[in-house]
A and B are shown apart, each in its own frame.
Chain A
Amino acid sequence: MNALNLAVADGMTIAKRNALKIRRAPDLLGGVVMLPIVFVLLFTYVFGSMISLPGMSYGEYLLPGIFVLTIVTSAQITGYTLTQDLQRGIFDRFRTLPMSPSAVLTGQTIADVIMNLTSMVTMAVVGLLVGWRINSSPPQAALGFLMLLLFSYAFSWVTATVALALRTPEVFNNVATILSFPMVFLSNAFVDSARLPGPLKPIAEWNPVSTLVQAARELFGNTSPALPTPAAWPLQHAVPVSLAWSVVLLAVFVPLATRLYKRAVSR
């Protein structure tokens, strides 16, 4: 086997391990399946019953936002499992094996994509049951899901980097919660970012989460001509900018996480 095949095969072995872990761990599985269901139902019925939008239901406007919220929160599982593994001896075992060293992180992040796919299918099904509709063509909708998965993969590398810098599950959980909530709520996921006050408005408009939500709305056809078109540049080119964000995050955080991993385990 050449080096690339080896890295791919090892990555798959590790991905299988992490996927099994998620399936067997009730706390992690809850985050993957139960939390998205709770999100969809809560937001649809609580906010959806209070807020009305011109030309469309709030529930329909909301679901792309919940997709992104779930991606951001469940990417934390990557960080959490990494910090747990760091504290146990398992990385030492991996490092005494003739495996590709990069496989640990690629395997971990690939398992996350599988997990995110599960979350997304769950949310889509529950969403369809409570009134969400895809109003676009099948290729556009498929591109929408692929774009969300790509972003989730890129974002897993971000949380992996944070986790490897922080090292302990407790610290990681605290920091991740503190960072991820503003990241999702300072966006257009639940409200129109153009109507936010003062300095919050540009932050929300340039937040990659907003771009991704806007792109998902466009690709799933969850927009209404009656709604004002967002004026900010990234929101006007939401689909290409979202894809660009994923590429940029990967380009920055794959090498960064890899370097931190090497440093974390070689002590």
Chain B
Amino acid sequence: MPDAIMAEGLVKRYGDVTALDGMDLAVPEGTVFGLLGPNGAGKTTTVRILTTLLRPDAGHATVAGFDVVRDARALRAHIGASGQYAAVDDHLTGAENLEMVGRLYHLGVQRSRQRARELLERFELTQAADRPVQGYSGGMRRRLDLAGALVANPPVLFLDEPTTGLDPRARASLWDVISELVAEGTTVLLTTQYMEEADRLADRIAVVDHGRVIALGTSDELKRQVGGDRVEVWLTSAADLEAAERALAPLAVGEPQRDPHILRVTVPVSGGVTALTAALGRLAAERVTVRDAGLRRPTLDDVFLTLTGHEADEKVKETV
């Protein structure tokens, strides 16, 4: 299958700051590709280049067969983009917002109006269709923004952190909508800093840090890269963190991790349940009080931590 999105060696600098440092991507048609990384990793810059908003300093990229620089004008009729800052107009109603976008895709008056109604229904905004967006909730705005990206039925869709800042229910409902789109054959490039989101939506995931891809694969492949199970124990006192880590060290097959905020120690182990039983025995012998304990498969958080040395949701200082 041909690649709907292809990027080679994209570089973008802002003064001394290198936002993109040789970004390569290949997204087959009809799949969801997740760009996963912390703030400032280069996710948004990548999307801005692929949606013709920015010119790369070096490298080249094609989307739906169009070069993002040379054929920018023609490409725009084939993409939809929805960003982390919902690009909707507060004083316009939901319907007016979508009609305006339809007119700007040159769908004509009738078709724009009809398409707006279809999308409002699909995104469960019919009730609010004729109210100014000012009164919408955060989730409703995002849904409207996403609807705006879909007005022209684009074959390629860019979603830049579509659920950042949404409550869990609004997030889940947006995920459902995105899954439906994918089922209809849309190619989606999704950026996120939520592991759960990439896990749930993306066929393939690129882990991005410092402006380049540092790991690539399916969610399972990436998890396999960082090894097997983890034993997690939650303590009742911060004073026990040290002792717990010491007690569990002999069982660890990798670097133990400590999260003092939630009093948790995580240790990669082999041997599954046996390791968990052994861990509890050792903690009891050290007189460490355990509030909760469990065995789990690695998450993408572990992948990120292992690959980059810092956590995905850690707020890296904004450099741009």
What's the minimum C-beta distance from B160 to chain A, rounded to whole angstroms? 9
Closest-by-CB residue of B relative to A13 is B103
Choose from B53, B74, B88, B106 the contact partner of A96 (Cβ within 8 Å). B53
* B86–A89 touching, CB < 8 Å: yes
A6 to B108, CA, bound (A): 12
Tell me the chain A residues, 190-206 only, with Cβ under 8 Å from chain B. none
* A21–B92 touching, CB < 8 Å: yes
Size class of the B contact interface (CB-based, 8 Å): 20 to 34
| A170 interfacial contact with B, CB 8 Å | no
* B85–A97 touching, CB < 8 Å: no
Q: Known contacts being A13-B103, A24-B132, A97-B105, is A92 close to B53, with CB within 8 Å?
A: yes
Q: What B residues does A88 contact at CB under 8 A?
A: 85, 87
The stretch of B75-83, B219-227, B268-276 that contacts the partner chain: B75-83
A21 to B88, CA, bound (A): 12
* A25–B91 touching, CB < 8 Å: yes
* A96–B89 touching, CB < 8 Å: no
Closest-by-CB residue of B relative to A17 is B100
Q: Known contacts being A24-B132, A25-B91, is A266 close to B105, with CB within 8 Å?
A: no
Q: What A residues does B104 contact at CB under 8 A?
A: 10, 13, 94, 97-99, 103
What's the minimum C-beta distance from A247 to chain B, rounded to whole angstroms? 30
Q: Known contacts being A98-B105, A266-B53, is A93 close to B81, with CB within 8 Å?
A: yes
Tell me the chain B residues, 29-62 only, with Cβ under 8 Å from chain A. 48, 51-55
Choose from A17, A20, A95, A98 the contact partner of B106 (Cβ within 8 Å). A98
What's the minimum C-beta distance from B87 to chain A, rounded to whole angstroms? 4
* A9–B54 touching, CB < 8 Å: no
Q: What B residues does A6 contact at CB under 8 A?
A: 106
| B232 interfacial contact with A, CB 8 Å | no
Q: What B residues does A1 contact at CB under 8 A?
A: 106
Tell me the chain B residues, 143-166 only, with Cβ under 8 Å from chain A. 145, 148
Closest-by-CB residue of A relative to B154 is A96
Closest-by-CB residue of B relative to A12 is B103
| A50 interfacial contact with B, CB 8 Å | no
Choose from B51, B79, B89, B145 the contact partner of A17 (Cβ within 8 Å). B89
Q: What A residues does B105 contact at CB under 8 A?
A: 97-99
Closest-by-CB residue of B relative to A28 is B91
Pick from A90, A97, A99, A103 the residue with the most CB of B within 10 Å. Answer: A97
Q: What A residues does B132 contact at CB under 8 A?
A: 24
Closest-by-CB residue of A relative to B103 is A13
Q: What B residues does A9 contact at CB under 8 A?
A: 103, 106
| B23 interfacial contact with A, CB 8 Å | no
Q: What A residues does B91 contact at CB under 8 A?
A: 20-21, 24-25
What's the minimum C-beta distance from B292 to chain A, rounded to whole angstroms? 42
Contact with B along A1-18 (1 / 0, CB 8 A): 100001001100100110
Choose from B52, B54, B101 the contact partner of A93 (Cβ within 8 Å). B101
| B73 interfacial contact with A, CB 8 Å | yes
Tell me the chain A residues, 15-56 only, with Cβ under 8 Å from chain B. 16-17, 20-21, 24-25
Q: What A residues does B74 contact at CB under 8 A?
A: 98
Tell me the chain A residues, 166-206 only, with Cβ under 8 Å from chain B. none
| B229 interfacial contact with A, CB 8 Å | no
* A17–B92 touching, CB < 8 Å: yes
Contact with A along B91-109 (1 / 0, CB 8 A): 1100010001101111000
Closest-by-CB residue of B relative to A21 is B91
Pick from B86, B92, B106, B145 the residue with the most CB of A within 10 Å. Answer: B106
* B85–A95 touching, CB < 8 Å: no
Q: What A residues does B148 contact at CB under 8 A?
A: 93
Q: Known contacts being A17-B92, A17-B100, A95-B52, is A89 close to B83, with CB within 8 Å?
A: yes
Q: What A residues does B54 contact at CB under 8 A?
A: 266-267
Choose from B48, B77, B100 the contact partner of A13 (Cβ within 8 Å). B100
* A90–B89 touching, CB < 8 Å: yes
Closest-by-CB residue of A relative to B74 is A98
Q: What B residues does A16 contact at CB under 8 A?
A: 100
What's the minimum C-beta distance from A249 to chain B, rounded to whole angstroms? 28
A144 to B76, CA, bound (A): 43
What's the minimum C-beta distance from B316 to chain A, rounded to whole angstroms? 20
Closest-by-CB residue of A relative to B148 is A93
* A20–B96 touching, CB < 8 Å: yes
A193 to B101, CA, bound (A): 50
* A92–B83 touching, CB < 8 Å: yes
Q: What B residues does A10 contact at CB under 8 A?
A: 103-104
* B103–A93 touching, CB < 8 Å: no
Can you list 26 residue pairs at the A/B interface with Cβ under 8 Å? Answer: A6-B106, A9-B103, A13-B100, A16-B100, A17-B92, A20-B92, A21-B91, A88-B85, A89-B86, A90-B88, A93-B87, A95-B52, A96-B52, A96-B79, A97-B101, A98-B73, A98-B74, A98-B104, A98-B106, A99-B104, A99-B105, A99-B106, A103-B104, A265-B53, A266-B54, A266-B55
Closest 6 interchain pairs by CB?
Answer: A93-B87, A89-B87, A89-B85, A24-B91, A98-B76, A98-B77
